[in-house]
């Protein structure tokens, strides 16, 4: 359960912005939430790609990302999947997950990559690499997956759609609206510090830790203000 957002910024410098919440929810019998942990990274990155997941974080998924991050697996696996419009390793992953945890725990993904060209894709649980989910009317300029996706998508429609027929989505719009679309959601299973990843044609950078440090610093600063106010 989560919210993963992807937005294309093609006005000026071309880039893909991915944003994700950081809350992991544990379930009893895969249905009843029993605990929550925040500060969890849901976007894996490589030299020229970033991939956010919605689903249950489990050993098969950890192994999948380990292979993607390896020198032998990373770019070639992802570029082949995009070219073929099919990610066989995702199908294999979800077969393993379904056998042990049940089909409801299957993972699906948002994938941003600069190879073979800069683009963003939805990867369904069967491994199909699509411009958008077949069951949604998402604008391919932005995509959303996870339990908080409906709320995030509604927010993006209000903020972004009016720019698509004009000058396009700028860098600052993409960053701001990706962050805010998750920040404003009232989904029970979406929460915690927000992670931002910027994928450009020549670089991939994750700013999640920087945002978390800034948030902690702001809280500490406000705490000192409260101490000064209340000691009078």
Res 132: pLDDT:
80
Positive or negative CA dihedral for 154, 156, 162, 165? Answer: negative
Residue 89 lies in a domain: yes
| Structural domain harbouring 108 | 4-207
Residue 66 lies in a domain: yes
Residue 39, pLDDT above cutoff 70: no
The Cα 53–Cα 134 span in angstroms is 18
Residue 129 lies in a domain: yes
| Domain containing residue 32: CATH number | 3.60.20.10
Residue 36 lies in a domain: yes
Q: Domain total for the chain?
A: 1
Work out the mean pLDDT of the chain and round it to a whole number.
85
pLDDT in tens, 78-97: 999 999 999 999 999 999 99
Residue 221 lies in a domain: no
Residue 20, pLDDT above cutoff 50: yes
| pLDDT bucket at 116, cuts 50 / 70 / 90 | very high
Residue 104 lies in a domain: yes
Residue 151 lies in a domain: yes
| pLDDT bucket at 32, cuts 50 / 70 / 90 | very low
| pLDDT bucket at 208, cuts 50 / 70 / 90 | confident
Res 79: pLDDT:
92
Longest dimension (CA), the chain: 68
Positive or negative CA dihedral for 86, 88, 89, 94? Answer: positive
Res 25: pLDDT:
60
Residue 153, pLDDT above cutoff 70: yes
Residue 218 lies in a domain: no
pLDDT in tens, 156-184: 988 887 777 667 788 999 999 999 999 99
pLDDT in tens, 46-70: 989 999 999 888 889 999 998 888 8
Contacts of 111 (CB under 8 A, 6+ apart): 49, 50, 51, 78, 81, 82, 120, 121, 122, 123, 129
The candidate with the shortest Cα–Cα distance to 3, out of 153, 185, 146, 169, is: 146
Residue 33, pLDDT above cutoff 60: no
């Amino acid at each position: 359960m989560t919210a993963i957002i992807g937005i294309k910024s093609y006005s000026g410098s071309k880039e893909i912005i991915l944003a994700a919440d950081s809350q992991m929810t544990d379930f009893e019998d895969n249905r009843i939430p029993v605990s929550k942990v925040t500060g969890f990274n849901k976007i894996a990155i490589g030299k020229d790609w970033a991939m956010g997941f919605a689903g249950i974080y489990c050993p098969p998924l950890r192994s999948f990302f380990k292979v993607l991050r390896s020198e032998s697996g990373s770019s070639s696996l992802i570029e082949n999947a995009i070219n073929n419009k099919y990610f066989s390793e995702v199908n294999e992953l979800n077969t393993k997950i379904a056998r042990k945890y049940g089909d409801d725990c299957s993972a699906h993904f948002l994938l941003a990559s600069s190879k073979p060209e800069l683009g963003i894709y939805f990867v369904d649980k069967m491994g199909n690499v699509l411009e958008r989910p077949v069951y949604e009317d998402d604008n391919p300029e932005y995509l959303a997956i996870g339990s908080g996706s409906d709320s995030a998508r509604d927010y993006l429609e209000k903020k972004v759609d009016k720019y698509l027929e004009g000058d396009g989505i700028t860098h600052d719009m993409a960053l701001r609206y990706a962050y805010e679309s998750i920040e404003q959601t009232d989904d029970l299973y979406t929460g915690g510090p927000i992670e931002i990843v910027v994928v450009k044609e020549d670089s991939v950078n994750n700013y999640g830790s920087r945002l978390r440090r800034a948030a902690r610093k702001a809280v500490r600063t406000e705490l000192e203000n409260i101490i000064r106010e209340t000691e009078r």
